[in-house]
Chains A and B, each alone.
Chain A
C-alpha cells in the first residue's frame, strides 16, 4: 500500500495527516480517558480552569474536558457517514449519466438540477418534519444535499475520460460496462472528484451542527462539539474554553482534512512512481 500512502511524504500531506490522526484519536479514545461523566454536573456552572476541571465547567456545571473528549465521535461519525454516502450515491449517478450517453443522462441530470434548486437547510427541515428526528434521517438528508453536486462533477469528468483510447479499447474488447468503468474510467476521475472531498466533509459537519443547533438533530444532554458550541456560546465571557475548545477541534479537523485532501488529490494527479531515465528503444 506504499503507493496509496505516498501523499504522506508531501509537507501538506504529513501535517494534514498528523492533525486528522490527532483529532480522530481524541474522538475515538476520548471516552476512555475522560475524568468525569460527561452528562453529570461536577461543580458550579461556568467556572474557569481548575485542578478539578482542567477546562472549567459548562453552563450546567459539567466538565468541559470530559465533554470535549466524548463529543468527537458523533461529529466525525455522522459527518463521515453522510459524506461517504453522498459520494457513493453521487458517483453512481454521475458515472451512469456520463458513461451511458443515452436518455438516462438528461433524465438523471435534470433530476439533479431540481435537487440543487432546493435551499439545503430547508430541504433537511422538511425531511425531518416528514420522517421524524433520527440519526438515520439526518445522515440520509445531509447525503441527499451533497450528492447532486458530486454527481455533476463526476459526470463531467466521466464524459471527458470516456472518449479516451483506453476506454474505447475496453469497449471494443466487448467488456461489460461495469468492468470498463471500474478499470478504465473510475481510477482516472478520482483526482478531480476528490479535490473537494475535504470541503464537503466540512460542509457536512456544518449542516449537522446547524441542525443540532436548531434542536432537530442530536438532543441534549448528549455531548457533541457542535452542540457544545451552541449551548455555551452565550457564556463565552465566563468560560471561554467551553466554546473555543470544541470549536478548535472542529477547526483542526477541517484544516487537517483539507490539507490531506489536497495532498491526496495532488499525488493522484501524478504518476505512482518517480520518473526514471528514458529507455533506448528499437
Chain B
C-alpha cells in the first residue's frame, strides 16, 4: 500500500491476554491495519490468532483477561470500555463475520430481519427496508425480492455466509474482522466469497482482518500477512514479501505445507505438535520444532526485528539463514507406471438416500477402477456424492444398483454379508478425527479391535502389534495408553490410520481425511499416507475437495459433479488440460500461492 502516511484504522500495540489462572495466551502482539487494507492473520490452531482478532471487537472469550496493551479501532480505544460503549462500536465501527454461519444466524429470524436488527441498533429511522435491500445487493443476493423473507435453514452454506457478510457491512464500518469465513465451504463457494470480500474492499474501502490457518487462502487477497505462533507475532510484512522471502523458519514451513496443484512438490509437515497455552518453552516458542534451532534459541525469546521497511521477523538467526532453497520435486515421486490388474472395480453404481423425497439418486451410474498399488482421487464439491461412493465400497451404504467387484469378485452391499477376508482387505478412514475414535476406549483398545476381529489374533499377539502399528504412523508407543481426548487432531487421525492398517488392508478408502486438520498437520498426514502407500503397496481411494492435495498424492483423478463422474484421467492430464467445464471451474477456484512464492 502506498498510503503509509495515512492514519491506520486499527492499531494494536503490545497486546497481552492471558487465562485467569495466569498463563499467557497472547503476548505482546503489535500490528496495524490501514484504511482499505486486508491483513491476513495466519497461524495454526492455538496460536492465539482468533483471540487477538476478537479483541478488536473488545471481546474476550470466557476465562481470558486483558493483561496489557492497547487496541484502537477507528481512532477509539476499545479495551476497558463498558458494554454500552462496545455495543455502539460493534457493527458500526468494527464488525465480525463468524466461522460457522449456520450457527451464527438466529434460525427463527428471517435474514432481512437479522440485517434490520443491526441497522436498528445503530441508525435512527428512515428507509430501513431500502438499506436491507442494498445490503443484500452488495453481496449479490439482491436479485430475488423474496430473499429477505427466507429463514437461514432455507439457504446454502455460501448464502448464509453472504448474509453474515451483509450484516457485517450494512452500517459501513471501516473495519471488519473475518474469522475463517470460508472454512467448511467448498472450493467454488470459497472462491466466490473471497472475490466478494475483495470487491467490498475495493468499492467501499473497508479494511479487513482475515483470520485463517491456511496461507493459500489469503495469499492472493491480502495486502499484508501477520503470522502468529504461540501467542506471538513471528513474522509480519507485505503479502508478496512474506510468501516470496519468508524470514522465519515457521513461515517457510507453513508455505511448504501448502499443497498447490500448480506447483506440486513433496509436502513437508512441520515436525512436532503446536505448543498449547501454558506449554510455552523458555526461549523461542518454535525452537523445539525448528530445523535451524541452536542452543541460544532455547534461552532467549527473540524480539521482533525489522528486516526491510515494513517487514518484521522474530527470529534470532534471520540474518544468517537462507530460507530460499526449498527443493522442488515433481509431486508424486515417479508414480510406478507398471500396468497392474484392477483391485477394485465399480460399475454402474447408483446410490440413494432413504430420506430423500426427490427421486434423484445421490450417485448415478458411476464406474471406475482402482489398480493395485495406485492412488485414485475422487474430487467434487460437498453434496456431489463422493462420500457416498466411499461408504458403498466400505459396506456402510447399500447401493441401489450396480456392482462393486473386489479382486475380480462381486461383493455384497453390507459389510456383514462380505467374507472376512474382504472386510479385512478394505479399510476406511473417516473425515472427522474428533469423531472417529471411541472416546471411552484407550487408543490401544481401538487398535486391538481390528486385530482381534479381522485377523483373529490372540490377545497377547494383538497387544504386541499395537506398538508396531503406532510406530508405523509415527506415534510413540506410549500413546496407546491415552484416551482420544488427550490427543490433537493430527494425532487422532494417525491413530485412525493405524486402526485401518491393523487389518493389513490392500485398499484404503480415505474420506476427506485431512479436511478437518490445519494445513501444517495435513501436510504431515499426507506425507505419512504417501510413505505407507509406497512401503505397503496399498491401493487408495482418496476422497477430497482439495485439488492441491490431489496433485501431491494421487496417480489418477475422478471428478464428480452432482452425483456422476464428469471427468477422469491421470492427475497430470486433468490438472493441466481439463476437458470438462466443471473441472475448469474447480481448478480456477482452488486457492493457490502467487507465482513468485517460495
Residues of B within 8 A of A (CB): 269, 271-273, 276, 279, 288, 394-396, 415-416, 418, 420, 423, 426-428, 430-432, 435-441, 446, 449-450, 453-454, 474-476, 478-479, 482-483, 485-486, 488, 490-491, 494, 496, 499, 503, 524, 528
Contact = CB atoms under 8 A, between A and B. Distances in A.
Nearest to A187: B440
A184 B475 CA distance: 24
A179 to B, nearest CB: 8
Contacts, number: 106
Q: Identify the interface centre among A165, A187, A276, A277: most chain B CB within 10 Å of its CB.
A: A165
B393 to A, nearest CB: 10
A107 B144 CA distance: 43
Nearest to B393: A172
Nearest to B450: A173
A172 B476 contact: no
Contacts of B273: 278-281
A51 interface: no
Interface in A230-282: 270-273, 275-282
Interface string A151-168: 000000000000011101
Interface residues of A, number: 28
Interface of A: 164-166, 168-176, 183-184, 187-188, 270-273, 275-282
Given A278-B279, A280-B273, A282-B272, A271 B485 contact: yes
A188 B416 contact: no
B474 A282 contact: yes
B499 to A, nearest CB: 7
A72 to B, nearest CB: 35
B201 to A, nearest CB: 39
Nearest to B511: A165
Contacts of A188: 438-440
Nearest to B479: A279
Nearest to B446: A166
A164 B434 CA distance: 9
The 3 closest A-B CB pairs, nearest first, are A165-B436, A165-B430, A187-B440
B415 A173 contact: yes
B415 A271 contact: no
Nearest to B431: A165
A282 B524 contact: yes
19 contacts: A166-B437, A166-B438, A171-B396, A173-B449, A174-B416, A270-B485, A271-B439, A273-B482, A276-B486, A277-B279, A278-B273, A279-B476, A279-B491, A281-B272, A281-B476, A281-B491, A282-B269, A282-B475, A282-B524
Contacts of A176: 416
Contacts of A170: 449
Contact of A165 (B432, B474, B478): B432
Nearest to B454: A173
B488 to A, nearest CB: 7
Contacts of A171: 395-396, 415-416
B428 A172 contact: yes
Contacts of B474: 281-282
Contacts of A165: 430-432, 435-437, 496
Contacts of B438: 166, 183-184, 187-188
Contacts of A279: 273, 475-476, 478-479, 491
A168 B396 contact: yes
Nearest to B271: A282
Contacts of A282: 269, 271-272, 474-475, 524, 528
Contacts of A272: 440, 483
B272 A271 contact: no
A175 B438 CA distance: 15
A166 B428 CA distance: 11
A237 B241 CA distance: 89
B436 A166 contact: yes
A164 B494 CA distance: 17
B170 to A, nearest CB: 37
A271 B483 contact: yes
Nearest to B424: A173
A148 B144 CA distance: 47
B475 A273 contact: no
Contacts of A184: 438
A280 B272 contact: yes
A86 to B, nearest CB: 24
B531 to A, nearest CB: 11
A275 B454 CA distance: 32
B254 to A, nearest CB: 17
Given A166-B438, A166-B446, A279-B476, A174 B483 contact: no
A157 to B, nearest CB: 14
Given A174-B418, A280-B273, A169 B494 contact: no
A168 B528 CA distance: 23
Contact of A164 (B272, B436, B476, B503): B436
Given A172-B394, A174-B415, A280 B288 contact: yes
A128 to B, nearest CB: 41
A9 B499 CA distance: 34
A164 B396 CA distance: 12
A143 B437 CA distance: 35
Contacts of A275: 485-486
Given A165-B437, A169-B428, A171-B396, 12 more contacts: A165-B436, A166-B436, A170-B449, A171-B415, A173-B453, A173-B454, A175-B453, A276-B482, A279-B273, A280-B272, A281-B272, A281-B491
